[in-house]
Structures are given as C-alpha cells and as structure tokens.
Structure 1
C-alpha cells in the first residue's frame, strides 16, 4: 500500500502531540515498519504562515486542543488554508476532561470542506491547560493503549479493497456557542483578555518567549505581552522556576470549579 503518513498538531503543552504522534506511528508501522512519518507541528506562529497541501496518497492525522468547546478560533485561518486534494484524514481533538462539545464535528467539517476525506475521528483527554490536577498526566498509559487499538482499526479500514467510507462524529449543527464560565451569581464572565503575571522567580531565560504559540510575550521584557493570550498554559507549565501565574479572580474561580465539577475521569470517544 502506497500511503504516506502525516502527523499534524497544535500542542502547546504536548498532550495533543503525544496522541497524534502515537496514532501516526502505529498506523505507519502497520503499513511499513521503515516508513518515514511527515510531522507538521503548527504550534508556533511562524509555521502557520506556510501553506500545506496533500494528495490522495496521504493519510493525515490532525489534532487540535478544544478551547471553550470548539476548535480554537485562532487556528481557523491556518486550518482553512490546508488543501486536502482527496487525502484521507483523521481529525483528533483533545480536551481537559470537561467536554469537547462541537470541536470534533467542527474540525471534521473544516477538513472535508478543504478536500479531505475524513475516515475516522476521536476525542481524547489531556491535562487541562488551566490546571495541574485536572486530568493530571493524561494522556496516560490507558489512553495510549486506546490510541494503539484505534490505530489498528484505522489501518484495517485503509486497506479495505472497497471504497473507504467517511465517518460520522458526534456534534451539533449549527455548532453551539463558545462555552463561557460564570460568576458566583451565574452571570457569564469573559476571561479572554486575562494574561499571566510574572513574579520575582523569573530568571529571564526566555523560554516563555520561545514557546508562546501566539508569539505574544515580549522578548525584552517577559512580563509584557505584545499580543493575545489564549490560556494554553505553556508558559506556566513549562517555566523552570514557576515564575508565571494568573491572579484574575474570574479565571481562578473558573479553574477551581473545573477542578471540582469535572474530577470524574472521562474516557476517549472514537468514531470509525
């Protein structure tokens, strides 16, 4: 079988990368133990400036995190610029144990409108970007075992002699509105403009500058932002001296509610 495996992902803290890579590696191994996987990490802004196109010989596993129950709107321009040309696609979304809402069906729709044929899809759980305890250390060994089994099923579908059927996934049309946290009186609050602060632990290593997926952290003064913050958690979770933090009361209240209300372990949902 002459198929090229591609692994594409936006993964600020590494959870989506882990799932997409494991899927791609197992499918690739099933096809050809020595096949080379084409990795496209579009987490950083410079990569998203380049257009990408595929052919009918490509299988593309593409993963994004779920933000407010949807595909992150900051990725829409890039995702809509990818050209499928009949390539097979496996859309993957990763969420922090609350819900993936309409993110998976939205990603599938984007891919199909751009010329891909979506043959499978999945919603997986990763440690929440706001928290170090909600879905802590996921995807874990149990999740990866599910990924491996899913990859085997995708491979079997690819090698069928009959025409490969597209997949139906869970979700609403029209899509639900973006999920919004609420204050103590049940009123919606907008935390989109909230940005992390920097404490005196900072050693000015510039790591946060280099990993910010929006390129927003000022290289000369890492306590300043020159653009938006999408609350991906990268600068907080990867800081070697724990210098980044949030102090916004609405953000912190929402974080605490998530950690309390969604502590029960959710499992991946697969569609094939």
Structure 2
C-alpha cells in the first residue's frame, strides 16, 4: 500500500513522548523519502481545538504518556472525537519505568474504534516526570536505536501488507482497562494526591512560562502563582521554570515519589508489537 503522508501525533508535557514519536517519524520518512510529514501536537489546550485530519492513504504515529497505568483520563473525551476512514496507525505509549499497565491496549482500542487500522504498537520508556531517578535520560541512544529498528518493521508491514497478520496487545481491555493504578507511599500504604497542585516560591520572576506550558491551562496567565484549574501532575511547569520556582510539595505526592525511587530504578524495557 502506498502511503502519502506520515503524521506525528502526540501529547507530551515534558517532551519524552515527543522525542519518541518524532524520531519514529524521521526514521520512517528516511526509508520512504517521497512521503511528506505533518505534526499534530495536542499537548496544549490550543492543540485540542481541532481533531487530526488523517486520511486513508496516510499513517499516524500516535503517542501519549502513561499516567497511573492508563491514558491521561482528561484526554479521553478528546481522543474519542477523532475519526478516520481507514488510515494506518501505530499507537505508542511512553511510561516512566514502573509499568505501562493497560494504556497501550486502551490507545489501540480507541484508534481502532475511531476507524484507524493499527499496523504496529509499542511501549517505550521515558524519564519519569516525577523524578530524575527513574529512567534517567531516557529515551537514550539505545532506545532510539530500537525505535529505528521498529520504524523499519513498520515500513515493511506497509509495503508488504499481505504478510501482516495483525497484532495482539497484552493487557486488560474494555470497559475499564483494569482501572487506574493506586499510588503507594514510602510505607507501601495507598496515598491520594489528586488535589495536589504546584506551589510557587519567592524565586518566581513572573516570566509566566509555567502558564504557557501547562497542558490543562490550569495556571493563571495574569497570576501564575495561582493554579485555578485541574492539575494532572505532569510537572511541565516544574521542569520548565527557569529559576525552579514551581514545586510540588504535597506530602502524599513526595511519599509516592520515594516509593517509586525505592522500587523502580532498574532499567525497564521497551516492548514492540
């Protein structure tokens, strides 16, 4: 089958998912130089005002981070507005070294139900958004080399569709995809920090960078120290503050970070399907 365009489609508050998806697309277009590319970054609210326009003769590499073993729940309504009339798709999730849970089968199902034909799928690893001690520096060179190999397999399946027998994604499917992972603290008891929001220290220089990068638009542009909307703990504001004035100091949140650091520092693996 001839592919005319490859779409890089992603939600990536801290950049790791973007790195994976754009590298996959770059590798694919190196192998298929006649194909054009298009980027659909729906990280910010402005990027979710329209749905991707992906047609039958096109391929979408769709990437999202894993939150609590699932896709970010505040994106589900947006994802289910997408529509395709038979475009190829590759669902990709990026997890922070603990587990990708049922997020990949969830994304696979959403794309399939919206009219896409998944031809491959993958779970990559990226540095955890909560701490630099989990999957430090990932995706790294080894990860990107595997992405290159995966891209070659995607192209092979496109060029030889008769040999493609389908993919089977592990995990628990609909209706609830196993529910959301319940975070634990250092004492291994369940903790709840859903309502936690970043605080702003006196180091703030009022550059308002935090408000510009918040994927939920939760930080007020006129008063960036105020988080008036829902915080998904993506840490985009924390990581992009030039003076480190944004911090998540909630005790339950920090206890969970400690739990993760004690349990999940060994190198997690990429899984390709």
Fold equivalence (TM over 0.5): yes
CA distance in 1, matches of 2:188, 2:268: 25
Q: Trace 1:129-144 onto structure 2 (pairs within 5 A).
A: 129-144=129-144
Match of 2:43 in 1: 43
Match of 2:252 in 1: 250
2:266 corresponds, among 258, 264, 269, to 264
> How far does the alpha carbon of each residue in 1:120-150 deviate from its partner, in whole angstroms, 9 at most, with x for none?
0000110101112211111000100000000
Decide whether the 8 Å contact of 2:186 with 2:258 is kept in 1. Answer: no
Partner SS state of residue 124, structure 2? strand
Q: CA deviation at 1:54?
A: 1.9
Contact kept? 2:220, 2:227, Cα under 8 Å:
yes
Query: Where in structure 1 do 4 or more consecutive aligned residues deviate above 6 Å?
Result: none
Q: 2:230 is matched with which residue?
A: 228
Secondary structure of 2:172 counterpart: coil
Is the 1:53–1:85 Cα contact (8 Å) retained in structure 2?
no
Q: 1:161 offset after TM fit, Å?
A: 5.1
Alignment correspondent of 2:6? 5
Residues 85 and 116 in structure 1, CA contact (< 8 A), matched pair in contact too: yes
5+ long unaligned stretches in structure 2: none
Structure 1 position 253, deviation (Å): 0.4
Aligned residues: 270
SS in 2 for 1:46: helix
Q: Distance in 2 between matches of 1:16 and 1:90?
A: 14
Give the corresponding residue for 1:56.
56
**Is the Cα–Cα contact under 8 Å of residues 3 and 35 in structure 2 kept in the other structure?**
no
Aligned to 1:219: 221
Counterparts of 2:3 and 2:71, CA distance in 1:
31
Q: Is the 8 A contact 2:133 2:261 kept in 1?
A: yes
CA displacement, residues 185-240 of structure 1 (integer Å, 9 cap, x when unaligned): 65432211100111111111111010000001011211101200001111111111
Q: Which residue of 2 aligns with 1:65?
A: 65
The CA deviation at 1:163 is 6.8
Cα pair 1:215 1:227 within 8 Å, conserved = yes
Shift of 1:173: 2.7
Q: Does 1:22 align with 2:23?
A: yes
Q: What TM-score do you get using the length of structure 2 for normalisation?
A: 0.95
3-state SS of the aligned residue for 2:207?
coil
Q: Distance in 2 between matches of 1:100 and 1:246?
A: 23
Matched with 2:74 is 74
Partner of 1:6: helix, strand, or coil? strand
Counterpart CA distance in 1 for 2:185 and 2:36 is 50
**Equivalent position of 2:96 in the other structure:** 96
Aligned partners of 2:270, 2:126: CA distance in 1, in Å? 10
Shift of residue 92 of structure 1? 0.2
SS of 1:195's equivalent in the other structure is coil
User: Quick check: 94-103 or 20-29, which moved more?
Assistant: 20-29
Residues 29 and 35 in structure 1, CA contact (< 8 A), matched pair in contact too: no
Residues 57 and 87 in structure 1, CA contact (< 8 A), matched pair in contact too = yes
Look up the match of 1:181.
Answer: 183
In the aligned structure 2, how far is the partner of 1:49 from the partner of 1:171? Answer: 31
Q: Answer whether contact 2:193 2:253 (CA < 8 A) is retained.
A: yes
